[in-house]
Chain A
Amino acid sequence: MLFIISMASLILYSVPNSSFNYNDTSAQKSNEQIKNLSLHHLIKNGSPFQGNVSAPITIIDFSDFQCYLCNRYVKNTEPLINQSYIQTGKVALVFKHVPNRGLDSMDAALAAQCTNEQGKFWQFHNLLYSNQKLIDSGWVSKENLKNFALQIPGLDSQQFDSCFDSEKYKSFVQKDTDLALSFGFMETPSFIIENSNGSNPEMLAGAHPFESFKAVIDKKISGG
């Protein structure tokens, strides 16, 4: 009986944590914080993004390059979102770093952010996820990250090395992580789907399938 009760408690605990509406949480964020989530603000601050800058909906993706569930999302869900919503100009996708899965995750995040200043973030992002191996097995060691960067056509390797070696974006990455924490995210990947002015944010925690994103995006597009 104790076993059943504990299992039932786990289910009840898990369900509300899988996703929740921002508007329903007791910890309402200030207007300032909502403004900081606007697509314009996120782009201005240097967050990697893809899609139309005037897209009505923004998805903010909080991920770690060593997280295999993030890889599941990148392989299975992101292409469908890209095809259905990003290519059609309805959605812009913004990436936020949450390097919490392993000791090498921070280096991967720093390297990726360095590629962003040369406009090569998404190539590097896809390259890392397609080469993902076991956490902290050395696949994103400093040396390997530099080798990955060399594989990106048109990337200035000297500029990249200088940026990466100086840990130029360490505070930037830390701010991304702090943002995730401020929204109560406890796992990667996690997402905020919002109107591009930062209003009406809705959160999805976990590597949701396309159906989940579609349900939220379509509701927002139809004004719900």
Chain B
Amino acid sequence: MNEEKKTPIASSSKGQSPFILSFKIVFSTLLYILFAATVTAIFWIVSSIFDQLIFFYPTVVFYLPDDAVVGFILVNITSILLGIVVSMNIYVFRHSKMKLNSLSFFSGSSLSVLSSTCVSCSSLGFFLVSTLGAAGVTASAFVSNYQTPLRLLSIALLIWAYYSISKKLTKSCMINYPNDSK
């Protein structure tokens, strides 16, 4: 492998955890910080709307009742992780020809969206009943009943996605950064 293709950060940070090192590599650029912040903010707002914590009419109000605290904490964690993982995946996509770890990223992010959306699966109640009948009700009930385990699972998947992408990022000999060295 050509020595010039190694990143300066990777070659000078031997011994650092892949988690920290990859984080430093990606988020040393303002663009990726902004991108992660945007993804986090959008997911947080959407989740809060579906969890019925934010209302825009008749008054704009953020409302956190006792029963929603645990879910809210998990949504915060998921939103931040999602922002980081999406940014890192884009970084890798733009800077290398390697294949994205699509399984962990998409399963993690889609499960996050699914679990936060279906927390208020009542919004799908009529639709599910009319289109899928009893099976729809059962599916809706399952996702509503197990929203917290589903959210924990989605966090675990996002951590896995973060770990996988971190490992790939810090394997400097596999990454070509021709544009970064300019």
Q: Which residues of A contact B (CB under 8 A)?
A: 3-4, 7-8, 10-11, 14-15, 17-20, 64, 67-69, 71-72, 75-76, 100-103, 134-137, 181, 185-188, 204, 206-209, 211-212, 215-216, 219
Contacts and interface: CB of A to CB of B under 8 A. Distances in A.
Nearest to A103: B137
Given A11-B42, A181-B126, A209-B55, A187 B120 contact: yes
B56 A18 contact: yes
B126 A212 contact: no
A209 B55 CA distance: 9
A219 B57 CA distance: 13
Contacts of B122: 64, 67, 69, 100-101, 187-188
Interface residues of B, number: 36
**B interface: dominant SS:** helix
Instruction: List the 3 closest pairs (A to B, CB-CB), nearest first.
Output: A100-B125, A135-B141, A7-B42
Contacts of B125: 64, 100-101, 186-188
A215 B56 CA distance: 12
Contacts of B67: 68, 71-72, 75
A4 to B, nearest CB: 6
B46 A4 contact: no
A139 B57 CA distance: 35
Nearest to B65: A76
Nearest to A63: B122
